[in-house]
Amino acid sequence: MPLYLTSSNPFNPSPTTLERGKPGYSWGGFNDQQPASQMLVLSDKVASDVATLTVQLIGGDPPVVGSLIYVQGTVNVTDGSPPNHFNVAGAIITAVNFYAGSPAVLTPNGTITFALIADNVSLKNDVGLAIVPTPETSDIVTSISSGKAFGIPQTSAGRSGGDAISWSYSFPGTAPATATTYLQGADVDFDSNYSTLDSGTLTTGETRPPLSTSGLTAVNFLRVHSVFTKTNPTDIITAVAKIVA
């Protein structure tokens, strides 16, 4: 009988086995089949340290607020110190508009805004290419939460001394006031069987140092677990947690 059938929570998804070198998302996810958003820059402006690009979507879906945008090839010069173009690397998108009419219809041309420290520049035609990589998604978590469990990959020869487990966690958006986030392991996927293998206390998130798997003889399953407090009771906390084995 598969070990995962002993899970104490019938709503938990059945654990899948981690693929070597590929992140398993205990919280959140990433659609590796979705192409990046690719856009031609048509015009741009700056007002009150906010840049607005008018763009034409040529690949992928319209980007979403909170994603990172990369822009190259623009020629209009802003009057900041020092003067610069609208080229950015990893700016956070603060607004997106690719819809027009009533009812709203998706259009190929739209606008994207992000912070850019520069003097005001009126709207001018421009050129360039903007790319927004496919973003990770996050999950809403409660103050005591356990993520999806994964099986550790095995070979007929067992685990070698060179095998390792890496993991990371982050809290996109509103950060918790305090948090302790754990990598847990268990022989079977049952809540009371999980014990701590490693932990971190940063409320922004971190990538933890790799752990050797050679000594984890009684560990068949891995998951991420977190206990946190909120700054405000109404705060909504989201998390992304990845495990690589």
The CA distance from 194 to 241, in Å, is 17
Enter the pTM of the model: 0.73
pLDDT tens, the chain, 245 aa long:
344 444 555 666 678 888 888 899 999 998 888 899 999 999 999 999 999 999 999 999 999 888 999 999 998 887 655 557 899 999 999 999 998 888 878 889 999 999 998 888 899 999 999 999 998 889 999 999 999 999 988 654 445 555 789 999 999 889 999 999 999 999 988 888 999 999 999 999 999 999 877 667 788 899 999 999 999 999 999 999 999 98
3-class SS of residue 201: coil
The CA distance from 37 to 132, in Å, is 5
133: left (phi over 0), alpha (psi -120 to 50) or beta: beta
Q: Which CATH number among 2.60.120, 1.10.3210, 1.20.950, 3.30.420 corresponds to the domain 3-30+138-244?
A: 2.60.120
